[in-house]
Structure 1
Amino acid sequence: MTTYLVTGASGHLGRLAVQALLERGVAASDVVATARDTAAISDLADLGVETRTADYTDPASLEQALAGVDRVLLVSSSAVGERVAQHANVIEAAKKAGVELLAYTSITRADTSTLALADEHRATEGLLAASGLPVVLLRNSWYLENYTGQVATALEHGAVLGAAGEGRVSAASRADYAAAAAAALVADDQAGQVHELGGDTAFTLEEYAAALAAASGTEVVYRDLPAPDYTAVLVGAGLPEPYAAVLADSDLGIARGELRTDSGDLSRLIGRPTTSLADAVGAALA
C-alpha cells in the first residue's frame, strides 16, 4: 500500500490534485491532504481523505504531517519572496520521513528562465537536487485561469491588457496540471524525470481577446502596454506594487517565449488533450 500526501490542499491546485488522485482510483484512505488549518479542507475529509495540519514555516508540523507517507506532492508556496526557506522545510521533513518520491510544482524551464518568478523555483530545484531524494519536477506554465478569472473585467472595458506583445503562452487549466501531478505521483518510473508542462496549443493575448470576443459577442481587443504602464494599471486595480511588477515581468517573459513549451509532456502524462482556450473561455462565460 502506497500513501500519497499533497501539501497546500486548501489551495486551488492542491485540492484539485487530491481529487485527481481519487479519480485515478487511489483509495481515499491512502491519501493525506495538508493545510495550515484543516477546517479549510473538511470537504476532503468528508471524502475519506486523512487531513493533517502542516505549515511551511513550522518544521515540527511538517515532520508530523509527513510521518509514514511514501510519496509527496510539494505544491509551491504562494508566499513569493519566502518560498525557498519554506520549501527547504518541506524537503527536510521529507528526508526525515524517508519518502520514496517527492514531486515539486516548478515553472517552465526553471533552470534557464530569466523570469523573476523563476528565481525561487530554480533555488528550490537546487535544494531538491542536493537532498538526495528521488524527485520528479513538474514545471508548470501559466494557468488558463490567470486569464479567464478576469473575464468580467475584460468584457466591462472591452479590452485585455498586458505587456506580452506577440509572445505565445502555453497556458493550461489548473485541473490539467493537477491531473499531471497525480499521474506522476502514482507512476513507478518518475524519479529523476523533468516534465515541461503546458497546453497543447500556445496562444497570444491578442488571440485570447479574439476568443473572448467570439464567445461573448462583445468587442474585446488586446492592448499591449509598456511594462511600467501595465504595472501601474495592476496597482490601480488593487494589487501590491511588488506583485504587480512580477506579473508585468512575467508578461515580458511571455514576449520572450519563456512560458511556451512544445514538449507535449502534459497531454502525455494525463492521457488526453489539454483544456483548449475556447473551452476555458466558454466555461468562464457560463
Structure 2
Amino acid sequence: MLTILVSAATANTAGTLVHELSQTNSVNVHAFVRDVADPRVSPLAALPNVTLVKGDFDDKDSVDAALKGVDRAFLVSSCFTHDMFERECNFIESAARHSVPVVKVGTATVLTHPGSRTAYGRNHYCIEAFAQVQRYKVVVLRPNWFMDNLLAGVEEVKASGKLSYPCAGDGNKMAMVDPRDVARAAATILLADESKFNEFLQERAIEVHGPEMLSLAEEVQALSDGIGYDVKIQAVPPTALVDVMVSFGMVKVFAEAFCNTILKLNGDIQAENRIVNESSALLTASGWSPKYTVKDWAQSKKIQGAFAR
C-alpha cells in the first residue's frame, strides 16, 4: 500500500483529507502534527490506517524524518506568516531528497503573481516558481475563495449579526468552494495510479472550484438562512478593518492582504490575473466534481456549531 504523509494534519483541509484517505482502506496515512495533545489530533489518531507523526515545519530534522519511507505527501501551512515561503520550500526540498512528490494547497490564480500586493499571493507564486526552477515534483491546488473564510468573523456575527468587510460583497460572482471539496480533490490526485499522477505533475497547477456562482453577499445570505438568524455584511473602510484585525493580533501586511483579496474578488480593485471559476479538466476527467453547495456548507455540523448563539 502507498504511504501518504499529510501535513499539517490539524489544518482544515488536511484534517478532512486524513478522513478521506483513511476511509478508503487502501493507503497508510501518516498525519504530521506539531502537538499530539492538540484536541484536534485525537479524532485523527482514532481513525483506521492513520499513524501520528510528530514534527514541526520549523524543525528541518523532524520534517526530514517524517518524509522517510513515504510515497506521496500533502502540504498545507499557514499563509498568515512571513515564514511560509521558507517552511514550504524546506518541506518540498526535503521531499525531493526522498523522491517524494508533493500535492500542496496554493491560493487563487487571481492572486498568484510576482507583483501581487497580496502578501500570501506573492508567497504562493514564489513557492511554485521555486519548485518549477528546481524541477521538483509538485502539484498545486488553486481554489479561489473558501466558503470557510466567513469563519474569520464568527464572533462578530454571533454578537451583532454583522460581518465587517471592506465592500458590500455584491460585485463579482465566483465558484467559491467548500474545503471538503478541496480535500476530495487532493485525495483524487494522491490516490491516482502512477500514469495519471504523472499527468497531474506535468500540469502542475490544478484549479479546484465549487458547483455554483455566488457573490460574497449571496454567501452571507446562505449562511444566514442556514444558521437561522439574520447576518448582513457591514461595509467599512478597508483601513478601519485592517486596524481591527491588527488589534486582534494579525500582522498588518496580512490584514491588508485579506482585505485586498476580498476587494479583488468582488471587483472593486484591479487584480493581477483573471478570476478562474472552471475546475481543471484533468481533475474532473479523473472522477472528481464539486459536491458541496453553499447551502450544504451552511447546514454542515461545523458551521452550525461555530455560529450557534
Q: What TM-score does the superposition give when structure 2 sets the normalisation length?
A: 0.80
Equivalent position of 2:142 in the other structure: 139
Paired residues of 1:180 and 1:270 also in contact (CA < 8 A):
no
Query: In the TM superposition, what is the alpha-carbon distance from 1:86 to its structure 2 partner?
Result: 0.9
Percent of aligned pairs sharing the same letter = 25
Aligned residue for 1:92? 93
Q: What does residue range 78-117 of structure 1 map to in structure 2 within 5 Å?
A: 78=79, 80-99=81-100, 101-109=101-109, 111-112=112-113, 114=116, 115-117=118-120
TM-score calculated relative to the size of structure 1: 0.86
Partner Cα distance (1:154, 1:270) in 2: 37
Equivalent-residue separation in structure 2 for 1:233 and 1:78 (angstroms) = 19
Q: Distance in 2 between matches of 1:151 and 1:217?
A: 14
1:193-208 paired onto structure 2 within 5 Å: 193=203, 194-208=205-219
Report how far residue 31 of structure 1 moved.
1.5
2:290 aligned partner: 273
Match for residue 223 of structure 1?
A: 234
Distance 1:247 1:65, change over 3 A: same
* Equivalent residue for 1:122, pick from 125, 129, 134: 125
1:264 aligns with 2:274: no
Which shifted more, 263-272 or 15-24?
263-272
Q: How many residues align?
A: 282
Q: Which residue of 2 aligns with 1:183?
A: 188
4+ runs of 1 displaced by more than 6 Å? none
CA distance in 2, matches of 1:33, 1:211: 33
For 2:241 and 2:4, locate their aligned partners in 1 and report how far apart those are by CA, in whole Å.
41
Deviations 1:90-149 (A, max 9, x none): 1121111112x2111101115438333211111110111123232211112222121156
Give 1:58 deviation, angstroms.
Answer: 1.4
Aligned counterpart, 1:170: 175
Q: Distance in 2 between matches of 1:26 and 1:261?
A: 33
Report SS of the residue matched to 2:207: strand
| CA distances 1:23-44 after superposition (whole Å, capped 9, x unpaired) | 33423xx221112233443433
In structure 1, the residue matched to 2:220 is 209
CA shift at 1:6, angstroms? 0.9
Q: Which structure 2 segments of 5+ residues have no match?
A: none
Superposed CA RMSD in Å reads 2.7
**More off after superposition, 190-199 vs 213-222:** 213-222
Identify the residue that residue 3 of structure 1 maps to in structure 2. 3
